[in-house]
Amino acid sequence: MDRIWWKQITKASVFTSKVIEALVAGDSVILSLPRHVPWYATLTDIITEGIIEHGIPRSVDYVDGTNDPGKYLLDNYCKKETRLQYRVGKSYAAFLAEQESITLNSTIVWVENLDAKSLGAWVSFIHEYNRRLPASREGGLFILEIRGEESVTGGKRIQCISFSSEISAYDKYTFCTLVSTTARVDNRVRQYLAELVSSVCSDDVELCAQCFAGGIEFARDPVAYLEHVSDSKLRSDGTHFAIDMTPDELRYRIWESQIRMIFPLIERFRMQFISDHRLEILRELPKETAFGERIESPEDVEIGLLYYLTYSGAIQMRDNNEYGHIRVFKDARNDLAHTNSLSFETVCEILIGKRAAVTVCDN
């Protein structure tokens, strides 16, 4: 699923392209990433592949950002005889910018493990290095990776490319929709899975993929499944999934996804039921609700009253199955109206009918 995210989701693909285009233009990059980057190794592979495809004659080195920028680059990208020429009193940036035959000039240095303080040190170094670099010569390029979406700015020849600025909740929902096509269930259940995963997993794209891997097991009990993921599954970088929401918060998100997808279907059912039994309903009107509201139009009859009219015999059903069907819709509407989420079995019955739901839920 890593390549689906970084290659097929438009904004994610644009994000990597912007990094590559900045390097092609001869600029360094501040790469602002979330705490949990979806498939980080794939991200770095795609950027490296793009560098090669664009014919940029540079290698990519990964270095620890906790190092002092100038001293680290002097010690690791200059031969011994060049290092011996350095004199205290001249800045490292100025000295390195003067050197024509050091490996730094053909390298993209990808700096990891930066915090706000160390990022500032590297940015200051690059600004001076670029300023001292002769206009006729290319020097080293840098990717400064900062996690946690810190508020950062670039500057001349340093582009700031932010994950959160480029990629929105819509892109994550698109990913869920695309990945849901691999689920071997009815299309309507597949759509519900995409909505549910997107709602429950929020910004965590790798967690979305893990929930799709769980399939029906996840859909039956998202809270329990996420506890299982937190206890026993690992991210692509080898770290544990951390579920930052309480069970009550998760249940609320489940309810939100059902409000968005199931509630409109209940309303559609109500309107179709009224259309099918309009004359029978008209014979029972006007009616007054428990709150003193007078109902004169069939379109204003809520599903609870339709259920009452059905079981009182005022509305005749074609067969016994229809009695159970309207009860499911009535109970579901009441549960959702009181912020109670529905069971997966009920969701399936509303989406695809009772018999089909049994097949889905038994998988």
Does one domain contain both 155 and 192? no
Instruction: Classify residue 352: in a domain, yes or no.
Output: yes
The residue among 122, 145, 166 that closes a domain is 166
**The pairing of beta strand 28-33 with beta strand 287-288:** unpaired
Boundaries of domain holding 27: 2-166
Does one domain contain both 40 and 132? yes
Does one domain contain both 154 and 297? no
Instruction: Classify residue 266: in a domain, yes or no.
Output: yes
Does one domain contain both 225 and 175? yes
Instruction: Classify residue 250: in a domain, yes or no.
Output: no
Instruction: Classify residue 129: in a domain, yes or no.
Output: yes
Instruction: Classify residue 342: in a domain, yes or no.
Output: yes
Does one domain contain both 182 and 262? no
Instruction: Classify residue 253: in a domain, yes or no.
Output: no
Res 182: pLDDT: 83
Does one domain contain both 18 and 115? yes
Grouped pLDDT means (10 residues each) for the chain, 363 residues: 95 97 96 93 97 94 92 96 94 96 96 92 96 93 88 84 92 94 87 95 91 93 96 94 92 96 95 94 90 92 94 86 88 96 95 62 54
The residue among 244, 278, 295 that closes a domain is 244
The domain that holds 62 is classified in CATH as 3.40.50
Res 183: pLDDT: 82
Does one domain contain both 138 and 119? yes
Does one domain contain both 150 and 52? yes
The residue among 109, 139, 166 that closes a domain is 166
Number of domains in the chain: 3
Q: Please, which residues have CB within 8 angstroms of residue 142's CB and are 6 or more apart in sequence?
A: 28, 29, 108, 109, 110, 111, 122, 126
